[in-house]
Chain A
Amino acid sequence: MDLNYSPEELAFRDEVRSWLAANLPQELKDKAHYSKEELMRWHRILAAKGWVAPAWPKEWGGTGWSAVQRYIYEEELGSAGTPPIIPFGINMCAPVLIAFGTDAQKKRFLPRIYNGEDFWCQGYSEPGSGSDLASLKTKAVKEGAHYVVNGQKIWTTLAHYADWIFCLVRTDPTVEKRQEGISFLLIDMKSPGITLRPLMLMDGAHHVNEVFFDDVEVPADNLVHKENQGWTVAKYLLGYERMNTGRIGESKRELRKLKERFPEKMKDVRWRDRLSRVEVELMALEITNLRFLDRMRRTGQPPGADVSMLKIKGTEIQQALTELAMQAADPNARETQALERRYLDMRKTTIYAGSNEIQRNIIAKMTLGL
């Protein structure tokens, strides 16, 4: 057992760190909100370096890094304050295409995702189907070489930026087991019949939308995997998603900023102790994450359901940090507004990507056998 990074891993960390220091444009650093242009600019900088999709197979542009190297890389991105890599294309649609797509689908979509030519969004949740996703009703009916899609998606993050949406749709409403009537469909956002309605969240920002489908024609070639087997695809994706929600690098950076911004509060033992407890939680999360990666390396097995705890703890920590920041600042000051908005915004983290209650259900069932 040795929890220090090896000399090679340290050298890799230094390489990433110094590249980021030299190549992250100052004006893109550490902003609360990024425009589409800013997000894509950073995406293309990483793509040009060959670092935008480290986890992909090498033939499609992956880096061949070990799990620990990928972890170091992500932590350095968070720690440097880069714009986020929007996950829907790189980390969600692409792994699905790599695992389930046809050769034609891979050739058509993967290079465009890699180079940031297509912006993707995710069409999963519906007004009546949140935690109970398998109850979804958006309907796709095969008519010749097309599916005709009708229905509504909700909470669609950055749909107003997106060129494409990957959707779970119901292709068989008659099956008894609801999961067996669902398919995974790729839909061009410019298709006639798609309309968007922004949903403003309590921080006053436009992140999410409702997406309406009204007789939208989708070429049958855009079906991924087999018809009525979309649930298999969705489950595969969830594993990927959970491994990625700890946001440890980002939280480390927030913590450091908090200490720098409020040096006088660090002398207030009550506040400082609350901060220290969060810092300890973050250390424990980091080591746990590394321990899971080490287990994957050792066993060659994909992440188990217990990685749900990374999502639970990671999001609790993100929320605690925004709360501490707000508590440290003058409640009436203009400068506090950004901290307050971030506090408001971060409440979403324990709800999205499978609420923390759903994550607990997953651990209870899959890991503990309850």
Chain B
Amino acid sequence: MNFDYNEEQQLLADSVRRYLQKDYDFESRKKILATPQGWSERVWANFAEMGLTGLPLSPDYGGFGGGAVDLMSVVEAFGEALVVEPYLPSMLAAAAIAKGGTQEQKQAILPAVAQGRMRLAFATGERGVIGAPLAQRIVLARDGRLTLHDKFNVAAYRTVDDLAAGDVAFEDKGEPLGAAGGVLEEVLDLGAALSCAEAVGALKFSCDTTLEYLKTRKQFGVPIGAFQALQHRMVDMFISYEQARSMACLACSKVDQAESAQDRARSVSAAKVRIADAARHVSQEAVQLHGGMGMTEELKVSHTFRRLTALARRFGDVDQHLERFASL
């Protein structure tokens, strides 16, 4: 048993973090959001240069053969920086094609994805498809089956946490992917586990920035962190975050390596429940402890609130995962 990232994972995580600190600070992100499309092609190209767009793909297609734990280190950093480029949906769709596609489909799509020339989206219905406005192909999961589409119209909008999303009208029947029933569940568990990892990054930011605020904001002549009522609330936020981190580690590690599909599903659902609770608790407390400033668009804490609010419900909400957890 060990909780370490290996050397490669650590190097990757460090370089992603460095890149985000330099090129994706809060002000740069604001500029991206101010553009009409609301995401940056340059940033996507940078992801490709760093090898991120090929991370989970096999070296046969120009990828690095990474698993959930490899991706975890990346999306955690994305969560902390509140990246708006819909990386995760593209990687999930690619994973679905890699697991269930024909040789031809893989050859046609995966190298282009790895090189950053093609973007994908992953849809569980026609409405609310994150990444659809920038996707050249969409993998659709419907009635337990996966199909691959390249003709569709998108009515674009942005989600509460500023991701490019759209309602999709599919204009082709789609090519079937993967006869094996397990593929869809595997991909959805991968998505759920990684959404946990992304939340952990956002939780970390919320805790760090709130702690900093408690130490610097003065009222009644002292830093407000001197008040025990606030100290205990900060401690509870910190505990929530640590518990969430533990469960994200569990979920990602079980997606890579579990005794059985049931073992994996149970761990992922438990993680999703715990992290949804942590997301709600920490984001609400972060805003509350910031007072009025926490409500404004000017501080990143409110944007993080929006991301955590969305992540808590993506890939299944608490009720769905509690139900699955209890039934396994």
Give me the interface of A with B, judged by CB distance under 8 Å: 1-6, 9, 68, 272-273, 275-277, 279-281, 283-285, 287-288, 290-291, 294-295, 298, 306, 309, 312-313, 357, 360-361, 363-364, 367-370
Contact = CB atoms under 8 A, between A and B. Distances in A.
B286 to A, nearest CB: 14
B231 A277 contact: no
Contacts of B273: 276-277, 280
20 contacts: A1-B69, A3-B250, A68-B1, A272-B326, A273-B326, A276-B273, A277-B322, A279-B325, A281-B243, A284-B244, A284-B247, A287-B246, A288-B242, A309-B238, A312-B239, A313-B239, A361-B228, A368-B211, A370-B225, A370-B234
B4 A360 contact: no
Contacts of B127: none
B215 A369 contact: yes
Interface string B285-328: 00000000000000000000000000000000000001001100
A280 B238 contact: no
B226 A370 contact: yes
B207 to A, nearest CB: 9
B204 to A, nearest CB: 14
Contacts of A273: 322, 326
Contacts of A287: 246-247, 249-250
B4 A298 contact: yes
Interface in B270-288: 270, 273-274
Task: Name, among B238, B246, B257, the residue most crowded by chain A CB atoms within 10 Å (CB to CB).
Answer: B246
A291 B242 CA distance: 10
Nearest to B242: A288
B25 to A, nearest CB: 25
A273 B5 CA distance: 34
A280 B277 CA distance: 11
Dominant SS among interface residues on chain B: helix
B303 to A, nearest CB: 23
A283 B250 contact: yes
B253 interface: yes
B232 interface: yes
Interface in B221-253: 225-226, 228, 231-232, 234-236, 238-239, 242-247, 249-250, 252-253
A309 B215 contact: no
B2 interface: yes
A277 B211 CA distance: 28
B215 to A, nearest CB: 7
Contacts of B236: 360
Contact of A370 (B215, B243, B274, B326): B215
Contacts of B215: 369-370
